[in-house]
Structure 1
């Protein structure tokens, strides 16, 4: 039976990923803050939960993410930057996934083409940034992309056929995007199906890349 690990399986996309994998008969293990207290802002607690996992998993999906910390919306200008807010966003969006990847070598299957996927965002692309603003969120996703790319290089040495990628899911209709009514959105179910289709079509030579829900590369 296919073994899947989803970090953040209670969120909109995470829950939809779980549903999609279970529908095809996979066994899914999930960790989330609301489901079982898995909170990456408490690193010791998160590490203990990750260390308790046995594996190996055929696929590991990291669906952690916050748009803001305590702020009502992302920053529009440098004048709005707040150190505590920025650190809080980085803790969840960059450090959190990094803590999961720390355990990937042990938890990820070495048989066949295993997958390690982190949900990123196009606004984390430096090359695609034309609008500015959103400093903390952009920086946190750019940081995530760098950690993921570096982890892919290391994993290649022990997991020859593994695919380790960052994915932009598009704008998904969840509480996360409720404040952006003008943006075209897809349902969580559609987003999960799109992501799975793209990820499972990637090859080992794609490992370390950044792709969107259509399978198109996203510039760093």
Structure 2
């Protein structure tokens, strides 16, 4: 398989979200066979014959295992976890102060932002070929950088994404022992016009809000440029490494 035709098959977890749907659209438009996996099992993009829709719950390991078992018939060489949460379903937003810390809300953020992607990796990485290029990626965030933290706040989101980054690093080290051409990476898409960023778009400088389709193309361009030497790092939408 040439780099121009890579991947032949991809899996996107979180396919009904803004970035996830755009990733599915772009990949399918390139002729890639796509496993479009979402909580609803629905897909609202320009679905075609390339798209296989499946339902899963990022907090339910059994549902992840079931989808991964189906994927054995056509294993992906690229898997992207495009799920994540900043504001919870009940409206609980990112904390501005330690006084707003709520144990249940923090636990929910960790389950979705850190534990969920790790469970996906647990069941999807065994499907990866050992003799060819393969990539596992998950959406991260620049605000997860400890070294770049100048403002504080957003405790649960920052900490859960920082935990994700550590887990991705662990996966990279472990996978390298058996899959020499594998890459594991975190991806920071910038500020994208999705439901996640909607409450925080008002004061953005012009040009800093990206469409989901642009974000998807940027991220796929980065994924295709990564080498095994890059494995375990986080990269932003411009392809620049984000400080740990």
- CA offset at residue 56 of structure 1? 2.4
Residue in 2 aligned with 1:191? 215
Say which structure is richer in helix: 1
Residue in 1 aligned with 2:22? 16
* Rounded Cα–Cα distance in structure 1 between residues aligned with 2:149 and 2:97: 14
Whether the aligned pair in 2 keeps the contact of 1:105 and 1:158 (CA below 8 Å) is no
- CA offset at residue 210 of structure 1? 1.0
Whether the aligned pair in 1 keeps the contact of 2:64 and 2:123 (CA below 8 Å) is no
Residue in 1 aligned with 2:174? 154
Deviations 1:147-167 (A, max 9, x none): 111001111011101111111
- For the pair 1:66 / 2:90, whether they are aligned, the reply is no
Equivalences for 1:96-107 in 2 at 5 Å? 96-107=116-127
Whether the aligned pair in 2 keeps the contact of 1:60 and 1:108 (CA below 8 Å) is no
Q: Which of the numbers 178, 203, 207 marks the counterpart of 2:231?
A: 207
Equivalences for 1:86-125 in 2 at 5 Å? 86-125=106-145
**Normalising by the residue count of structure 1, what TM-score does the alignment of the two structures yield?**
0.95
Whether the aligned pair in 2 keeps the contact of 1:56 and 1:106 (CA below 8 Å) is no
* Rounded Cα–Cα distance in structure 1 between residues aligned with 2:38 and 2:60: 13
Whether the aligned pair in 1 keeps the contact of 2:139 and 2:187 (CA below 8 Å) is yes
Whether the aligned pair in 1 keeps the contact of 2:92 and 2:105 (CA below 8 Å) is no
Residue in 2 aligned with 1:48? 66
In structure 1, list runs of 5 or more residues that go unmatched.
Answer: none
SS in 2 for 1:163: strand
* Rounded Cα–Cα distance in structure 2 between residues aligned with 1:57 and 1:50: 10
- CA offset at residue 137 of structure 1? 0.5
SS in 2 for 1:166: strand
Residue in 2 aligned with 1:218? 242
Paired residues in the alignment total 220
Deviations 1:115-174 (A, max 9, x none): 111110111111111110000101110011011110011110111011111110100001
What is the root-mean-square deviation of aligned Cα atoms in Å? 1.4
- CA offset at residue 64 of structure 1? 1.2
- CA offset at residue 84 of structure 1? 0.5
* Rounded Cα–Cα distance in structure 1 between residues aligned with 2:58 and 2:183: 24
- CA offset at residue 177 of structure 1? 0.7
In structure 2, list runs of 5 or more residues that go unmatched.
Answer: 42-53
* Rounded Cα–Cα distance in structure 1 between residues aligned with 2:187 and 2:128: 18
**Normalising by the residue count of structure 2, what TM-score does the alignment of the two structures yield?**
0.86
Whether the aligned pair in 2 keeps the contact of 1:40 and 1:96 (CA below 8 Å) is yes
- CA offset at residue 182 of structure 1? 1.8
